[in-house]
Structure 1
């Protein structure tokens, strides 16, 4: 007979579409009450499960005790278990993170290394309350206050709607022991302070705290999910010409606009903070150029926001020019393929897009090179009565950070082709053309 807790876990899995019976589920097993209950529940519900215990090398003999407990628990249930040992203190000495955060990062890394369809963690409703309070105390938006998500990528949390009291009652009913992490009893960790000092006061104010919070959390998650979906759609709509439309972003209501800016920052691996959001918003409204992180800049042009990095990839080809030959040339962060095609001169119906990417190879004077624009460069395009300043053309066609990587071909007499504008009139293809030089940007 299934317990009330098992039924609640089953309903939670179905509600959030967490897992199918045929999938293999990996349980992060610490040996504490939550993970022990999760193991028993999923075993009781007939899921294909395995376990992983991560020894953090923090608590000496106590950590070895926890490992032994987990191994014996799984052995009694005939469940496969993997033990991973990670040196959290050494990791924290090498990286600027707290012991609590270091343990979390290494634990998830260890779990992801094991072959399984889903990873199950034992976060419960009490954990969600503590997370909400923690995020509220340090400052957070709706997503942070909505606490731990039931599903995140391949990580699922079947106990997310169960209280710690319900979990411990379930284990008592089953006669199942568990281990207690002594660090959970210490108030030196922020979450423990909330658990031991703040939550009890809240229970005095509202004896039905967990039920009330569960309802509130449901509303918060639904609101957050709705706003995130709207923001995803707005972000996709804002993408424009290798940048983002300032006009479109300005029209958005602030809650959506802020989230779109957060997505823009995240896309370029810029730390998301209120200061950075405000800097980008000011740029979108007023124009200009700012530094958003080391060697990374944001600026606006023609009411479009661009973010670019002055990274090493863009400087691999630092020469001003490179000789053009058949094959792929890596140029300023782009792979450009050049081909010489022999034809019969019948170009009456040639595709205009193709024609803008080719020239008559036999009309080239001397050596043809791919190079950056230079002061004084001019080109007389096909069917034009006058020549054009190449720098002006590049400004029209490319944002600032793309101009040096534009395809600009020159021979001994000057520019013969400019990307997006086509060939010079003197190397245009016509009825006498027998060899055509073409290019295609194949990656960037």
Structure 2
């Protein structure tokens, strides 16, 4: 097993001897074998044990075992205790997912070059079967990757039987998680029921599956690279060119769609990707969940946030001060007429032409105004559609007097209040 682990590290370029490694140590056979193999191979190793506090005294037993083992081996160890149940209740996730998120959050702060986890070939086989039963693609069938970012898995080509033999040869004990002995969890049912049946069909199951998984990973890596090339080629302004997307190979376009969905926080299953592809063909809008939707915008497939309901909001303007309105800072100031001589702009108004108090508000149905230099009135709705995204339109600043709209953000003041050569007092509007 030790030789196989060394070959795996070299094959996947997992780590250099000069790098510091964090060994994730639970006390189980796999993680104990990982710690021993890394130390025997001469790597600089620190251990990290996380007490999930889910199994009472058994969890504390595991912690003591890991501390004692590292003390005997002379390996530095850090121990973390986490409240998984509280985290899951707060974030609405399963115990398994919550524990994983907490673990990897701690690992990310470890300060080591690489994080070594004890995933084995047996884990990969169980994961592949699990994914196949739920429905998956090539990525799911390829199972657990040997390397992901700075996470390495040196034992990923070693079977559980090889690992236990390695430990027994050294007289090294380990602890057993009692929950692994029951069939309460799906993974345990696969381990205790399905995998032994597969081994009856093929006694060389581990060897055969090792080759199969490697083939799948190689194929998956090629398709991912081709997908990345397509994605970069058709990316435009935060979306994907719909025409080019539809003309690409379906396997690549499907992955490109799922990448776009995932990067924008949307659910990205195969079924959703197929519906998004139909959207590219027919147009329209598709609700994705998680507060997101997909749509076509000027030939681009984009993913946007669902509309946040913003109530009608208005404030009476104060001249000279700064006003916070829907996340923006608005400053209205008065200047003497010298500024008009120097710079006549659409953002200057003749203060004396304004009727009554100035009100700052967002858009209302039916808003209209005649902009400076135009001989016709425009719908504010259409003006905003031409210049702002849906999210920006709902927060666009509108100024009104007693006779109606006098200013639209992005366009300036209305013709009826514009400053000219006769203006005595100029109103300036600045939005930031």
2:10 is the counterpart of 1:11: yes
Aligned to 1:394, which of 384, 396, 416?
384
- Find the counterpart in structure 1 of residue 193 from structure 2: 197
2:334 is the counterpart of 1:335: no
Partner Cα separation in structure 1 for residue 323 and residue 286 of structure 2: 32
User: Post-superposition shift, 1:184?
Assistant: 2.8
Q: Deviations over 1:203-254 (max 9, x none)?
A: 4444443343333323322333343344455556666566655444434433
Whether the aligned pair in 2 keeps the contact of 1:52 and 1:83 (CA below 8 Å) is yes
Partner Cα separation in structure 2 for residue 63 and residue 297 of structure 1: 44
SS at match of 1:221: helix
Whether the aligned pair in 1 keeps the contact of 2:24 and 2:115 (CA below 8 Å) is yes
Aligned to 2:135, which of 136, 139, 146?
139
- Find the counterpart in structure 2 of residue 379 from structure 1: 369
SS at match of 2:381: helix
Whether the aligned pair in 1 keeps the contact of 2:29 and 2:174 (CA below 8 Å) is yes
Partner Cα separation in structure 2 for residue 338 and residue 52 of structure 1: 55
SS at match of 1:405: coil
Q: Deviations over 1:283-317 (max 9, x none)?
A: 33333345433765555555454532344xx64x7
Whether the aligned pair in 2 keeps the contact of 1:291 and 1:298 (CA below 8 Å) is yes
Q: In 2 relative to 1, CA 398–99 (structure 1 residues): closer, same or farther, beyond 3 Å? A: closer
SS at match of 1:272: coil
Whether the aligned pair in 2 keeps the contact of 1:359 and 1:429 (CA below 8 Å) is no
Partner Cα separation in structure 2 for residue 249 and residue 326 of structure 1: 52
Q: In 2 relative to 1, CA 161–330 (structure 1 residues): closer, same or farther, beyond 3 Å? A: farther
User: Post-superposition shift, 1:396?
Assistant: 3.1
User: Post-superposition shift, 1:32?
Assistant: 1.8
Partner Cα separation in structure 2 for residue 388 and residue 202 of structure 1: 72
Partner Cα separation in structure 2 for residue 24 and residue 205 of structure 1: 43
Whether the aligned pair in 1 keeps the contact of 2:348 and 2:429 (CA below 8 Å) is no
Partner Cα separation in structure 1 for residue 320 and residue 250 of structure 2: 51
- Find the counterpart in structure 2 of residue 309 from structure 1: 306
> How do 1:75-94 residues align onto structure 2 when only pairs under 5 Å count?
75-86=71-82
Q: Deviations over 1:28-64 (max 9, x none)?
A: 1111221112112222344332212223344444444
Q: In 2 relative to 1, CA 124–322 (structure 1 residues): closer, same or farther, beyond 3 Å? A: farther
Partner Cα separation in structure 2 for residue 43 and residue 374 of structure 1: 70
Partner Cα separation in structure 2 for residue 103 and residue 155 of structure 1: 17
- Find the counterpart in structure 2 of residue 257 from structure 1: 253
Where structure 1 has 5 or more consecutive residues not aligned to the other structure, the ranges are: 349-354
Where structure 2 has 5 or more consecutive residues not aligned to the other structure, the ranges are: none
2:347 is the counterpart of 1:359: yes
> How do 1:16-415 residues align onto structure 2 when only pairs under 5 Å count?
16=13, 18-86=14-82, 100-101=96-97, 103-112=99-108, 114-232=110-228, 234-235=230-231, 245-293=241-289, 296-300=292-296, 302-304=298-300, 305=302, 307-311=304-308, 315=310, 318-320=312-314, 323=317, 330-332=324-326, 334-336=327-329, 338=331, 345-346=341-342, 359-362=347-350, 365-366=353-354, 367-411=357-401, 414-415=404-405
Partner Cα separation in structure 2 for residue 94 and residue 343 of structure 1: 57
Q: In 2 relative to 1, CA 55–422 (structure 1 residues): closer, same or farther, beyond 3 Å? A: same
Q: TM-score normalised to the size of structure 1?
A: 0.77
Q: In 2 relative to 1, CA 11–168 (structure 1 residues): closer, same or farther, beyond 3 Å? A: farther
SS at match of 2:47: strand
Whether the aligned pair in 2 keeps the contact of 1:347 and 1:431 (CA below 8 Å) is no
Q: Deviations over 1:255-282 (max 9, x none)?
A: 2333333334334433333443344334
Q: TM-score normalised to the size of structure 2?
A: 0.79
Whether the aligned pair in 1 keeps the contact of 2:261 and 2:303 (CA below 8 Å) is no
Whether the aligned pair in 2 keeps the contact of 1:244 and 1:306 (CA below 8 Å) is no
User: Post-superposition shift, 1:127?
Assistant: 1.1
User: Post-superposition shift, 1:154?
Assistant: 4.0
SS at match of 1:25: strand
User: Post-superposition shift, 1:399?
Assistant: 4.6
Whether the aligned pair in 1 keeps the contact of 2:350 and 2:426 (CA below 8 Å) is yes
Partner Cα separation in structure 1 for residue 72 and residue 194 of structure 2: 38
Whether the aligned pair in 2 keeps the contact of 1:324 and 1:370 (CA below 8 Å) is no
Whether the aligned pair in 1 keeps the contact of 2:51 and 2:82 (CA below 8 Å) is yes
Q: Deviations over 1:363-421 (max 9, x none)?
A: 57435554323344333344433332322223333454442223444455544444454
User: Post-superposition shift, 1:75?
Assistant: 0.1
Q: In 2 relative to 1, CA 427–150 (structure 1 residues): closer, same or farther, beyond 3 Å? A: farther
Partner Cα separation in structure 2 for residue 238 and residue 430 of structure 1: 48
